[in-house]
Chain A
Amino acid sequence: MSVESATTYRVIYPRVRRRRPPLVRWYRRNERVVLGLGGLAAFVVLWQVLSGAGVVDPLFFGSPQGVFQAGVREVQIPRFWNDVRYSLTEVTVGFLASLVLAVPLGLAIGWYRRVSFAFDPWLNFLNAIPRPALIPLVVLWVGLGIEMKTIIVFLGGFFSIILPTVEGVRTVDQQLLDVAHSFRASQRRLFTSVVIPATVPFIAAGVRLALGRLLIGVVVAELYAQTEGIGVLIERAADVLDGNRMLFGVLLFTLMGVLTTEAAGRVERHFQRWRPSANLDLEEGT
């Protein structure tokens, strides 16, 4: 083939790969970490500077240094650990109770179609009520103690788990049920071999949501009752206008939040392994 003149042909050239200096290459590979930490560091530095200069009122917003010092002071007080234990108890008991109750109930409600029709609006309605609004009611029932907070946590977990469970049972693939039926499976075997395994990913998603919502319940209930718990730590610090201590409390919750979100994510991924695609468009946590 003779060479054609460029005016009659458009040429598509290959990509040119230039060797970049090693620093640039390293940056490209680790860009995510660099920018991520950089952004965070910039934020912290900015905060410290503004605080020191008085632009941001150190009384209210504290400073990174101040928060750290407040934290160090706090963990040495025994009352702090009492509060931590208190909050953790609410969370664990409330969550476990919700899990134990919501799963069987959810399975039962989902299985009987008419029952699920009847209960669905109620479940949705109760779920739509912001839990903080229920606190005064629960207080009327059980007072301001640890029971109230546990119930609030429980309610959050309960609805988070039961709704996806019901959904999961209702959407079991008809084909799978047909297969079990064609082999003359008994009701019980049908349930254990088809329905429950198919619903597990939904339950796992519900657990993820529940773990997210737990913390809100804890905080809100504790702030309302103001007896004990990490939420109260924040409130006490607010009373004496100690911004640093308040932020320390908030950071504790952040830590708990991060841990629970991570744990929740792992739980769900573990139970989703066999699912090719999980389009679970459900509400998220915190």
Chain B
Amino acid sequence: MANTDLALSARGVRMEYRDRSSDTRLVAIEAMDLDVADREFVSLLGPSGCGKSTFLKIVNGLLKATAGEIRLRRNGKGREDAMVFQDAALFPWYSVLDNVAYGLVCAGVKNDEARKRAAPLVELVGLQGFEAKYPYQLSGGMQQRANLARALAVDAPILLMDEPFASLDAQTREVMQAELLRIWNAAQKTVVFVTHQIEEAVYLSDRVIVMSARPGRILADIEIELPRPRALELKRSAQFTAYADQIWKLLASQHAPAAPVGQA
């Protein structure tokens, strides 16, 4: 892939927290180098606290890294990145349409114009007819669809997704994964997806970046060569299972380095 195809390029990113009173340092991310190509779907996978969400927040600008640099390919029309948050992600006091339009309003678009631009995205994520409803009237899956629509509405080329399906039940989760791939295909975005579920990462991504526990660093960068479009049944295939297995072993070796060799 040519260099100019990189949507995101991170070098030496390090995140430290210093506790003022006890003067101890907490290293959330030790050192991260990451390249993401244009329109690639990349997952950051790792145990809780490994810094994957922290990395996303640094890219999005919510946190400032202690060291390292990140380059995002400039978008002529506006923002480069938009975040899809975990739960509690919609404002309970706005309707679905207003929530989806929120990103545009933040960017300075007038309310009416923003709503007009948001409407087709509500349809894209499958929530047509629910524009006037309020979040408390929607199920968890529907709320996350709206969450996704909001991030898509600002038309940023890079989507940052922070465990968006974590609070959904298993079936809804699977449905949303398939939906996400459909929408990603239609919207042609670059996605950096954070999760701690191996299956989810393998199913969705072109590449899975496996991270270690805190202090976080990249353990492996695995190409997932499964054909697209990917149906949910793919999860039962041998190739899929092989990838999942490989990653599982990699993560497990982190937890129990003293496990006796040769154990099944």
Contacts and interface: CB of A to CB of B under 8 A. Distances in A.
A and B, direct touch (CB closer than 8 Å): yes
Interface stretch (B65-73, B220-228, B240-248): B65-73
B9 to A, nearest CB: 7
A10 B72 CA distance: 5
Interface in A1-50: 1-2, 4, 7-15, 17, 29
A8 B58 contact: no
B80 interface: yes
Contacts of A14: 13-14, 64-69
Given A12-B58, A29-B20, A1 B9 contact: yes
Contacts of A12: 58-59, 61, 65, 69-72
Contacts of B72: 9-10, 12
A15 B35 contact: no
A11 B71 CA distance: 5
B74 interface: yes
Contacts of B35: 1
A172 to B, nearest CB: 26
A18 to B, nearest CB: 14
Nearest to B65: A14
Interface in B140-184: none
A4 B71 contact: yes
Interface string B37-76: 0000000000000000000001101001111111111100
Contacts of B67: 14
Nearest to A16: B64
Given A4-B4, A14-B14, A14-B64, 20 more contacts: A1-B3, A1-B6, A2-B3, A4-B9, A4-B71, A8-B4, A8-B73, A9-B71, A10-B71, A10-B72, A10-B80, A11-B69, A11-B71, A12-B58, A12-B59, A12-B65, A14-B65, A14-B66, A14-B68, A15-B66
Interface of A: 1-2, 4, 7-15, 17, 29
23 contacts: A1-B9, A4-B3, A4-B6, A7-B74, A8-B4, A8-B73, A8-B74, A9-B71, A9-B73, A9-B74, A10-B71, A10-B73, A10-B74, A10-B80, A11-B69, A12-B58, A12-B59, A12-B69, A12-B72, A14-B13, A14-B67, A15-B64, A29-B20
Closest 10 CB pairs of A and B: A15-B64, A9-B71, A12-B70, A14-B65, A10-B72, A14-B67, A10-B74, A11-B71, A8-B74, A14-B68
